Structures are given as C-alpha cells and as structure tokens.
Amino acid sequence: MTAEAGTGQGETPMVAFILAPSIDVLGGSVVRLRNGDPAQATVYGRDPAAMARRWAREGADVLHIVDLDGALSGSAAQAAVTAEIVRAGLESGVPSEVAGGLRDEASVARALATGAARVVLGTALLADPTLAARLVAGHGSARVVAALDVREGRAVGDGWRPGATSEPLDRAIARLVDAGITNLEVTSISRDGTMAGPDLDLLARVRRLAPSSRLLASAGVRSARDVAMVRDAGCDGVILGRALYEGAFTLAEARSALGG
C-alpha cells in the first residue's frame, strides 16, 4: 500500500490520489456489470476475499466493495461476504469502503461494525433528505460518502432501474454539502463497465459544484492515461473496475502515470 498513514480501522489513506479497485459482489462472485445491468455480468472470480488480497498486494489504497444484490434488492444481501472482504483488506493493511443496500442508520452501523473505514450511500440519501446530516452527526463526515450516479444530468438511485428515484445533480450536491457531506463519488451511468473513457465533463462539473469536497471518479476508465486525466479533471481518486480486471493496465502503471 502506498499510504503512509491513515490505514487503521475507520480511517482512509491520506494520499495525493487514491486508487480504489472495485470488488463488486453478485451471488457471492466478483463481477462487473455493464451499465448496472445484472443480465450483462462478467464473472472475474469466485473468492472475493482472495481478490481483496490480490489488489492489496498490487498497491490498492482503498478497496471499494459493492454488494450488488443489496443495491438491487434494497437490503444488504451479501453482508457476510462483505465483512469477509473487509477483514481480508485489513489483514493486508488496506482499508475498505462498503456500498450497496445501505438504506438506513442501522444498516450503516452494521457495515461500519465490520471494520469498514467508511460507507457509501446513494439511494437512501436521495430518498431521505435528512439522513445525510444524521449520519454525519453520528459517524463523522470522513466515514460517510455520497454516491452520485448520474444519468442525463440527474443523480439516480434504486439500482438505476427505469422510474428510479432521482434528483437534478446540482440540487443533490447542494443539499448533500449543506448536510455536511465532504466525500462524493461520481459515476457516469452510461459509461459504467464500458471502458469507453471517463466522462471528464461530468467530473469537472461536479468539481465546480463542490469545490471543497473530496471527489472520487468512477466509470469508463480504460487506461493508465485515463487515470491521470481524471486526476487532472480535479478528482482526488478513482474507482477502477473492468479495465483493471481485463488487464488493460496495472495499479503500478496507474501510479506511474500519476507521476509516482
């Protein structure tokens, strides 16, 4: 791991730019979806904890763990598997953030109790305007991340299904920042799992709307050069998925593209 500090339970690394491999779990397997569609799932492994140890060995700063069953069902369906991944990361010296199916304060508390450094919520923060402030008050802003999954200028929840809960992006960001959220993760839904390149315009827009927030980008990254472009768009880190699993580049190559 490249971080020099902040690697214990409840802490995320204070590095110049965070590289966060995503471990997306569906039915107990590590998968990547295309545009969030479970019918377009590619399986990359049957042992999520082993995948966590692999990314730790290769230089991950944070493990981004997604319970896809939970995201689709609305409850943390893979909680036991998620906890196992978190433990594997901690044993390797790498903290984790957990997403998927976290809809209320109780599910957030359970996720953090596994040793996760922080939790990532999207749907619940869109549906309940008061939840963000309550979570920040209860756990601190460093441990609560707002996921902004964006389609056609709107932040979208509910697993991105047709008719999903949504809100104009600028309004969602303003509300979350006012509630004390300091960490944002932005996904361009149309580019998720496509290796079509990051949506740099979207990332730059979010940076303008939230100039003081810590911002991680997700979706579309296809090369180490893209990682550097995401950094240059104003982001503080990147969540890496299909391109990393497909061997398009390594974490070491991404680090090198960033200048060390």
DSSP state of 94: -
Sign of CA dihedral 248, 249, 250, 254: negative
Q: Tell me the Ramachandran region of residue 178: left when phi exceeds 0, alpha when psi lies from -120 to 50, beta otherwise.
A: alpha
CA dist 11 and 93 (Å) reads: 11
CA dist 169 and 150 (Å) reads: 7
What CATH code would you report for 18-257?
3.20.20.70
Domain range list for the chain: 18-257
Beta bridge partners of 43: 31
**Count of alpha carbons within 13 angstroms of residue 117, beta-carbon side:** 23
Residue with tokens 């979208």: 156
Active site residue 149: yes
Q: Active site residue: 24, 67, 199, 226, which one?
A: 24
Active site residue 158: no
Q: Active site residue: 61, 67, 69, 149, which one?
A: 149
pLDDT in tens, the chain (260 residues): 333 333 345 466 667 899 999 999 999 999 999 888 888 999 999 999 999 999 999 999 999 999 999 988 888 889 999 999 999 999 999 999 999 999 999 999 999 999 999 999 999 999 898 999 999 999 999 999 999 999 999 999 887 877 788 999 999 999 999 999 999 999 999 999 899 999 999 999 999 999 999 999 999 999 999 999 999 999 999 999 999 999 999 999 999 999 96
Contacts of 149 (CB under 8 A, 6+ apart): 122, 155, 156, 157, 160, 187, 189
Look at the pTM and tell me if it is higher than 0.85. yes
Is beta strand 154-156 parallel, antiparallel or unpaired with respect to 29-34? unpaired
Distances in whole angstroms, Cα of residue 42 to Cα of each of 24, 56, 106, 196: 11, 22, 32, 17
CA dist 148 and 168 (Å) reads: 11
